[in-house]
Structure 1
Amino acid sequence: MQNKNITSLSVVLPVYNEQDNLPALFEEIRRSIANIGKEWEVLFVDDGSKDRSLEVIKALAAEHPQVRYLAFRKNCGQSAAFAAGFQAARHEVIVTMDADLQNDPADIPAMLIEFERGYDMVIGWRAKRKDTFAKRIASKWANAIRNRLTGETVKDTGCSLKVLRTTMARRIPMFTGMHRFLPTLMKMQGATVAELKVNHRPRLHGVSKYGAFSRAKTAAFDLLAVAWMKRRYINYDIAEHN
């Protein structure tokens, strides 16, 4: 791998009913990346929130030129929010995070340093998760099954804190549940992927938008689809043309 310094990044944040977390989240992101010498933006994707999230986002955008936003007409899910954010991002690298303040923006600079070693993707590993026991067990089992069927060794593919090369992120096959398989979908394009331990914090405001086991059936079908896709995926790189 060849080291390559990046000059700009887009932080993509899916938002669904997180009004109380957004001002603090933006301020933490700003403090984390404002002085690292790179052009940056924060792109909020409001996923049909029913609270004041969009109002808060608009206020942030009016005050800070680095803030942009997209707003869905209705709730479409986290994968759709990421997909829209990937297409709308203006910079060469995308950083993804949850909007619930459990991911720590202070981890972003270290992840960018790792990325600049020559990787196409760096994913966070929540070594000490601050979730309920049920969510930790469900995540552990999901990671194990996902790795077994996709041939991966990823410790924590469910962590939303990731750094991705924008050109590759935009080529990811888009489907509901896509966000659970980002490392595999990137590797299908030939991406090099690294993992880095990151901080994880307890939720202070709002509630989790899904139960620990409520999506197991849907996730199982998604997993079978990705395992099939990995075997059948066509990937080519044109060397010359006229």
Structure 2
Amino acid sequence: MINKISFVIPVYNEEENLKRLYNEITEVANSLKYDYEILFVDDASTDNSLSIMKELADLDDRVKYISFEKNCGQSAALYAGFQNARGDVIITMDADLQNDPRDIPKMLEYYGEYDVVNGWRYNRQDTWAKKIGSKIGNFVRNWLTNETIKDTGCALKILRADMVRRIKMYRGLHRFIPTLMRLEGAKVIEVKVNHRPRAFGQSKYTNLKRAKEGLYDLIAVRWMIKRHLKIKVKEKNV
């Protein structure tokens, strides 16, 4: 049962996208008939993103924001959002308008039976270099973590809030949220979603940066999987 949805949106220099994103989210959220909030997490943007968040919050009390003193990265922004969100369901998405909020009703059909509904950008609107880099990255991650996720980098996810708050988040580990939640017992499914070309702003990652950081993260997650405690109690008297 869903009581309240929290949209958690990490933001870094997305001033041209925020108002349109807000309009798209509210249009979909109002059609769902659930109570909801939109939580923007500003990762120390250097443009007018924070001012726009404040403007939206003044107009709509369902809009909340957190602003970092210095840039901490996407994992930190998501972690702060998870810890401050008040919903029992959390929906994450990027602020760059490439995720389509209209996919959310279809994804919610799987929530309940599954604790994680992960978007799969089956028709990505990115450069060939980015697509190839992503395919290689997903293959290596799945091979070393014994996963089957086709698109771990898709930001559009529906997450069970009490479960995602239990995972340990470190810099860069936002790419492994489905895997980390499986360690907590989550059931995970991937659903095909729309992906739109970026109209404004610039991508914050290059293939080289993503590969370099991803290698460190992958080693850490593999260690966590290997060392994860799987305890089955035979009997107890406590």
TM-score of the two chains, using structure 2 as the length reference: 0.96
Distance between the aligned counterparts of 2:237 and 2:96, measured in 1? Answer: 47
2:56 corresponds to 1:56: no
Distance between the aligned counterparts of 1:187 and 1:155, measured in 2? Answer: 15
SS at match of 1:106: helix
Distance between the aligned counterparts of 2:195 and 2:106, measured in 1? Answer: 15
Residue in structure 1 matching 2:105, options 109, 119, 123: 109
SS at match of 2:158: strand
Distance between the aligned counterparts of 1:78 and 1:197, measured in 2? Answer: 23
Residue in structure 2 matching 1:158, options 153, 160, 171: 153
SS at match of 1:34: helix
- In structure 2, stretches of 5+ residues that fail to align are none
Q: 1:226 to 1:55 in 2, by over 3 A?
A: same
8 A contact 1:189–1:235 mirrored in 2: no
2:222 corresponds to 1:206: no
8 A contact 1:187–1:193 mirrored in 2: yes
- In structure 1, stretches of 5+ residues that fail to align are none
Distance between the aligned counterparts of 2:74 and 2:151, measured in 1? Answer: 17
SS at match of 1:226: helix
2:226 corresponds to 1:234: no
Distance between the aligned counterparts of 1:140 and 1:201, measured in 2? Answer: 18
Offset from partner CA, 1:156-196 (integer Å, 9 cap, x none): 01000000000011011110111010110000011000110
Aligned 1:12-91 pairs, distance under 5 A: 12-91=8-87
- Which amino acid in the other structure matches residue 46 of structure 2? K
Stretches (4+) displaced over 4 A = 235-242
2:213 corresponds to 1:218: yes
Distance between the aligned counterparts of 2:8 and 2:237, measured in 1? Answer: 35
Q: Partner residue of 1:132? A: 127
Q: CA deviation at 1:7?
A: 2.2
- Which amino acid in the other structure matches residue 123 of structure 2? K
Q: CA deviation at 1:240?
A: 8.5
Q: CA deviation at 1:211?
A: 1.1
Q: CA deviation at 1:221?
A: 1.2
Offset from partner CA, 1:10-67 (integer Å, 9 cap, x none): 0000000000000000100000111212110000000000000000000000001110
SS at match of 1:153: coil
Q: 1:24 to 1:167 in 2, by over 3 A?
A: same
Distance between the aligned counterparts of 1:241 and 1:59, measured in 2? Answer: 57
TM-score of the two chains, using structure 1 as the length reference: 0.94
Q: Partner residue of 1:182? A: 177
